């Protein structure tokens, strides 16, 4: 019992045993219970699970154009429904520009409680002051630990595999237009295992009596969604 509940004190263990009909002395529990080597703290996975409704994650990734120009794309992801609440593209990212994106993502006092990010230098003093003024607490991942920001890393991988790896980008405007269509598809039609095979904007189950299955192209035919329509 003490191994499974490292934060429990001896009296609490005694009380739990008594609720199970077993009388045990506090001194016996003190003798045998496991004591952690350091004060217990919640794991990273526990933190993410407990604060999933109040947590957003951000990250940059680089996209080349047909003329080998590098565009920097910022993604702001809400963890709860795996929804990209904001994105933008720039050739020259700065801390001030990045801070402005957070304001645009959460206007009218709708700021999240926590903002998960890595330790990139782009999130400089101007960014930190602006985020703090919005009442957002920053949660920094450990150095060289992208797995701690796994949700947004997974989304970036999906953007590349499902969309950007199959198109030739002309410029910043072209990239924005394609990604706007892609995120519209993702939010309304793309199912996620982590959401119980639902989409970020929850979809109703369409039973066979509603009609035959019809395929609709999305993002210029790169993806498709399926609906039942009456004949």
What is the mean predicted confidence (pLDDT) over 118-123? 94
Could you tell me which CATH class the domain 46-195 is placed in?
A: alpha beta
Higher pLDDT, 170 or 2: 170
- What is the predicted pLDDT for the residue at 37? 64
pLDDT over threshold 60, residue 40: no
What would the pLDDT profile of 150-193 be if each residue is shown by its tens digit?
A: 999 999 999 999 999 999 999 999 999 999 999 999 999 999 88
Q: If phi over 0 gives left and psi between -120 and 50 gives alpha, with beta otherwise, what is residue 220? A: left
- What is the predicted pLDDT for the residue at 185? 94
Cβ-proximal residues to 191 (8 Å cutoff; 6+ apart), any chain: 197, 198, 199, 203
**Range of lowest pLDDT (30-44, 64-78, 88-102, 171-185):** 30-44
Joined tokens for residue 138: 């920053």
Q: What percent of the chain has pLDDT over 90?
A: 66
The verdict on pTM exceeding 0.85 is no
pLDDT over threshold 90, residue 42: no
Determine the angle formed by the axes of helices 150-162 and 172-188, rounding to 10 degrees: 110
pLDDT over threshold 60, residue 10: yes
**Range of lowest pLDDT (5-14, 126-135, 193-202):** 5-14
Q: Where are the domains of the chain?
A: 10-41, 46-195
pLDDT over threshold 90, residue 57: yes
Please state, in angstroms and as integers, the Cα–Cα distance from residue 229 to each residue in 94, 185, 209, 210, 214, following that order. Answer: 48, 19, 9, 6, 7
- What is the predicted pLDDT for the residue at 126? 92
Other Cβ atoms less than 10 A from the Cβ of 94: the count is 13
State the sign of the Cα–Cα–Cα–Cα dihedral 89, 92, 97, 99: positive
Burial of 221: CB neighbours in 10 Å, binned 0-12, 13-18, 19+:
exposed
State how far the Cα of 58 lies from the Cα of 153, in Å rounded to an integer.
Answer: 9
Residue whose pair of structure tokens reads 């993806």 in the numeric block? 223
Nearest by Cα to 102 from 141, 140, 69, 57: 57
- What is the predicted pLDDT for the residue at 6? 73
Joined tokens for residue 189: 């039609």
State how far the Cα of 100 lies from the Cα of 171, in Å rounded to an integer.
Answer: 22
Other Cβ atoms less than 10 A from the Cβ of 149: the count is 21
Average pLDDT in the chain:
90
- What is the predicted pLDDT for the residue at 44? 67
- What is the predicted pLDDT for the residue at 41? 59
Nearest by Cα to 85 from 98, 74, 95, 76: 76
Q: What percent of the chain has pLDDT over 70?
A: 96
- What is the predicted pLDDT for the residue at 230? 87
Higher pLDDT, 147 or 39: 147
């Amino acid at each position: 019992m003490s191994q499974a509940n490292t934060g429990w004190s001896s009296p609490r263990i005694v009380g739990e045993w008594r609720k199970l009909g077993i009388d045990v002395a506090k001194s016996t529990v003190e003798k045998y219970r496991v004591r952690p080597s350091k004060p217990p703290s919640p794991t990273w996975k526990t933190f993410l699970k407990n604060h999933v409704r109040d947590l957003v994650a951000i990250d940059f990734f680089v996209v080349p154009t047909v003329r080998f120009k590098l565009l920097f794309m910022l993604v702001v992801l809400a963890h709860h429904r795996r929804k990209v609440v904001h994105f933008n593209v720039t050739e020259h990212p700065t801390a001030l520009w990045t801070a402005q994106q957070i304001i645009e993502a959460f206007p009218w006092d709708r700021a999240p409680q926590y903002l998960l990010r890595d330790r990139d230098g782009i999130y400089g003093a101007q960014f930190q002051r602006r985020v703090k003024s919005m009442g957002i607490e920053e949660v920094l991942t450990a150095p060289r630990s992208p797995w701690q920001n796994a949700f947004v890393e997974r989304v970036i991988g999906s953007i590349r595999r499902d969309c950007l790896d199959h198109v030739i980008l002309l410029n910043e405007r072209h990239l924005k237009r394609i990604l706007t269509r892609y995120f519209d598809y993702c939010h309304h039609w793309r199912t996620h295992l982590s959401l119980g095979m639902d989409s970020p904007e929850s979809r109703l189950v369409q039973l066979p009596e509603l009609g035959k299955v019809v395929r609709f192209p999305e993002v210029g035919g790169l993806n498709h969604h399926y609906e039942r329509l009456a004949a």
